[in-house]
Every structure is written in structure tokens, then in C-alpha cells.
Structure 1
Amino acid sequence: MIMRCASHGARRHVQPYGKLGGKAWKKGRKSVSTVSKIVPFNSGSRIVETACRTLSVASHGLNALEAKFADRDFAAIFLRMVGMIMNVRGRLIVTGMGKSGIVARKMTATLTSTGTPALFMHPADAGHGDLGMVTPDDIVLMLSHSGESNELGPIIQYCKRFGIPLLGLTARAESTVASASDVCILLPAVREACPNELAPTTSTTVQMAFGDALAIALMEMRGFSADDFHKFHPNGRLGAQLLKVRDLMAAGDAVPRVCEDASLLDATIEMTRGRLGGTAVINQGGELIGAFTDGDLRRTVTGTQQLTEAVGRFMTVPPLSVGPDELASEALRLMHMHNITLLFVCEGGRLMGAVHMHDLLHAGVA
């Protein structure tokens, strides 16, 4: 960098300010820290005590929230809030600024995954067009610990102008959010775990817990089942745990089956065709009466038995089976418990299909 002196017009070279490799900069710079006193890492006990104190403060905040529900007025307001959300024709629009906004995003995700249609609206974007996502059929849930975030103003005005119900969640009864809300939940006044009592810690934990309580209350009121949950979580490990046996079983001609008077040779051929390591043994009515597996075949042929003998003499009875609407994870549990790799699927005693351990594991069931 070259600078020109104003008085004489002479030029002089100056070390660039941001060039840390320069000797002059290294020599003249002072270390800058964002903290005034750093605790050495060898003070392990103090660090652990701080962590435990944080958890203790958070625990007190959660206990205070739980105690709130014992108050009849608070419980009545909560029930009214739940009723309004249950009866809304549109969606629940959740909003909040700063840390409350982060909690609002998580709350939105929990609500949508448990049966309550919800959207997150960022207050900073609301006044720049995103208010258009709010329809007369919707309801707005506003989170603000202080109840005085300036960015929430346009949303409050919009709700009042178009008669959109506004639900508030704040800790201050005299705040703007509390006074503007049609229904307002007043969270307990809690101490922040931050030693300066400034950084939102306990307050956001309490907000998060209330959001979970609200979502689960709505979930139970809707009768939201595991089947419904699976519709919204088809992928990943969670989706695999909610799969049913009928989703993974082989059916129709893919299921090996023989009658009880079939020969061992016929049963062996059928097992080989099915590639499941076994065959079902059924009666004339199509009901499962036994199972004949690779293990049964090995035990049979090592004896003096002839392959022309009836398979019914050597099949495993009673056969272990599972219903088509059982969770796939339950089928896998039975396989592990009985040390088998194949389960036949029956409904009302009739053979419907077969499920192999490899299919369950390949689908991510655990």
C-alpha cells in the first residue's frame, strides 16, 4: 500500500493493516479477546460445576412451567388455545424473533410432524411480503420472551386489521404481545443460566418444553396414530421402525408352499424355487399348519429317511407366524428371540405371505 503525505507530496510505504505476516504488524499488534478472564482448562471441576448448575437452573424452569398447569386459570387458557388451534380451518402460523424464532422453527417442525398443519414466518420478512402467506382461515402463534420485539409490530397490526386470531406466548403480562393477543400464555419468570442472566437459556428451554406440550396435546386430541406418523416420516430410520410386515413380505406365488402329504423331494424343490430358505406347509383350506426349512431338511437327510416320505412327518409344528399389520420391528424381534430367519404371515390362520430377516435388515428395520 502506498500513501502520499499531504504536506510534501512524498510517498511512503505502509504495511497493510490486515497482513498478519508483516513483521511490523506482528510487532505492534495487541492481542484482543472477547472475554476478560479466561478460566484455564486445568480447572476441570469448576467447568463441570458450571455445566451442572446450568442444568439445575433449567430444571427449575421446567418445574415452574409444570406447576403453572396446576393453576386453574392457566389451564383454562391453555385449553382455550388448544381448542382454537384444533378448530382452525387453515394453518397455524408460528412466528418469533431471535432465539424465540429458533424455538418457533422447532415448534413448527414438531407440530407439522404430529398432525397440526403449521408454517414458520420470520418477522423480519413478514413486512416485506411474507404476510401474504397468512389467510383469514389461519391463526397466528407469536413467541416473544420480552413481548416487545419491534419486528413483531407489523404482524400484530396485520392480525388486528384483518381479524386473524393471535395467540401469544410471553413471560411479561404488561408487554405488547400480551395485550395484543386474543389468547396469551404467560410463561413463568425464570432465571437465565447465563452468569450475567442475559443470554437466553432457561427461558428458551421453557418455551421449547411448552411447544412440545402443546404439540403432544394436539396430537392426542386428533387421535394421531403410529400409522399417521409413518405417513409423514416415510424415510430414514424412524420410517423403517414404523414399517409393517405387509410392506416387506413376499406374497402370492413368491411364497413357497406345499401340502402336508407332499414328499420331501417336492418340499425341497419348492424351497429352492422360493429362495427364502423354507416353505410353508398348508392344509386343504390354505391354513398354515407347519414350516419346513433348510435346517429341517439337513436334519432329515442326515438320517435314514427317504425323499419320498411325506413332509408332514418332519415339519416344525406349531409354526411361528406373524400378522400382516404387525410392525416389522416386532417380526425382527421374534426372529432374534427364536433364532430363525423366516416368518410366515397369516391372517385368520390362512397363509398370506412370508418375510425374511434379510428383507427387514435391508429396509433398515432394527
Structure 2
Amino acid sequence: MTTRPKTSDPVTPRVIADLRSDTVTTPTPEMRDAMAHAAVGDDVYGEDPSVNELQAEVARLCGMEAGLYMPSGTMTNQVAIALHTRRGEEVVCAEGSHIYEWELGMMAAFSGVVPRFVPAPLGVPAPEEVRAAVRHSVHQSPTGLISLENTHNKAGGTVIPLEVLAGIRAVADAEGLPLHLDGARVFNAAAALSVPLSEITRHFHTVSVCLSKGLGAPVGSVLVGRAEHMRQAHRYRKMMGGGMRQAGVLAAAALVALRGGPARLAGDHRRARVLAEALVNAGYDVNLAAVQTNIVYATIPDAAARSAAWARSGVLANALGPDSVRFVLHHQIGDEALEGALRVLTA
């Protein structure tokens, strides 16, 4: 009998730093312990004590009446759009908004609405541009909602100043429109502005707060707003398949992230600035004015090939276009890991 020669398994390079996103973090030992000992119940019936505690705590931090836990920020955003709009209406949003770019046309598929974009230099739309985008004419699709994103992912993790938020809320009030916040990284915005979370969220009728990005929870986002809205949101969550039953095992880890994560964000922001400046010094094009939180976009020719070469050396980053690479700092990238990454990225 002839035996085939053995072949060695392919060698997987050691990962020095995973900078693809702040969603790649793994649960900490404290989170795993909380998950193992979580009190649980059927959340679809509203009977999971850990989920109820999480919802109440996020709502309190945001200055809102109530919250609803969901599997993802896409779901919380799309439930909010469904709450506030009617079919055939428009959603005014900043150019490059996540609700359009990365949520797979769900506002049209589920709610029957379409976006109307406003210019947003560095992710910040001017109140007068928002006002000009509002439509009430019988000859055009009426505006049903204004939605903002803070921080603005595609603009580079940029922060909307508080005075701009106040100005856009004034527009919403004058036009009789609800205002929603995609707060996927709103804790990063609060850290950058050195203000309590509620100083940002108080301007909105509903807020989507992601727990699995900057804060490092394994799963989930919370939609907060009026209690009446959250009762309606429960139905939309169920329609989308978001009833997770004994979700307390996830909520318990999210509570750990919620209570410990915000204090770490300033370190992520500092390391992002170090990375950005090192890339500039290595000859890459980075708009340093856009590096305000934990995200760095660099203009790099042949981005896919370059990011693949870095991956072979143990540094992971996302090529998001032919000449664009995104790097995201998070709490599991410390100073030592960043130094190792810089040796690869700037070689």
C-alpha cells in the first residue's frame, strides 16, 4: 500500500494587532464570569432581570425614560426609523451615514423610506443645510426624520460639536420632526468632548447606543427614548427576529463593558493619534484633523495588497477602497501592541 507523504499545516502568522475594528475584541475574564453567573429570564416577555437592568442603566445615562436591548446597532437604527416614519417619506442624514452605507438598504426594505443627504464636512452637517433639506411639499417626498451619526464612522470617527447638535435640534423642533442619533460610538464622542453622555443624547428623541464597539461588550445595542416608543419598538424588534429570550448572559457582559469601558476610551484616542502621526511620518496621507477619537483612515495606494501584506506580518487592517485603509483602536490594543504594529506598518 502506498502512503502519501505528509504535508505540513499552513502556518498562521501570530496576530500582533487586530486593527480592523473595535468589534473584534473578545470578552474579558470579568465579562465571562458575569455571563456564567447571570440572572436570566425570557426577555421577549420582559422577564430577564439582567436585560432589564442593562436597559434601565443605558436609559438613565442618556437621560431617557426607557431602553430596549437588541442584537445589533443596525437593528436599533432601523427600528428607530420605523418608529418615526411612514412609507414614502425621506430621512435627512449626513452624507456617508452608516444607516445608508452599511445597513443594506433596510430603511427602504423595511420602512419604505429613502435618504436625503446633506453635506457633512468632517462628518458634521450644518443646521442650515439640514433645514434646507427638509421637504413639506405635496410634490415631493415629505421629510419624516432627521438622523445624525456621532461619532461619524466614514468621516474618520469625528465628533459633532454640542452647539451644532443644539442647532439641528432647533431645526427639528421648528419643522415638527423627530431627531434620531446613531450613537454607535457615542461614548467616544462624550470622551472626546469631556462631557457626560447625556449632554449629547439630550438633544434627541431616540438614541441607538452600541455596546460592542468602543466599550468592548461581546454583543448588542440599546435603543433608548420615551417609554411609549420603546413599547412600539418591542414589536418591530420581534418582526426583525430580535427577540433573544434568555439574553441575560449577554446583557451581563454588556453591563461590565458599560461600567468599565468609558474610562478606557481616552487611551484608545491617544493611541489613534500616535498611529496617525506615525503613518504620516512614514509617508502616508492621513487627514489629522479627522483623527478625533479611535479611528484612523489613511490613503494608501493598492490598499488591498498592502493590507494583505501587513496581515502576513501579523497586523490586520481593513482596506475599504482601492486606496483607503481604516485602522481602529480598542481596549485590547495597548501600548506594546501598538508599538509592534507600528514596526510592521512603517517598515
TM (norm. structure 1) is 0.31
What's the TM-score once normalised by structure 2's chain length? 0.32
Which structure is richer in relative contact order (CA contacts within 8 A, separation 6 or more)? 2
Q: Which of the pair has more CA radius of gyration?
A: 1
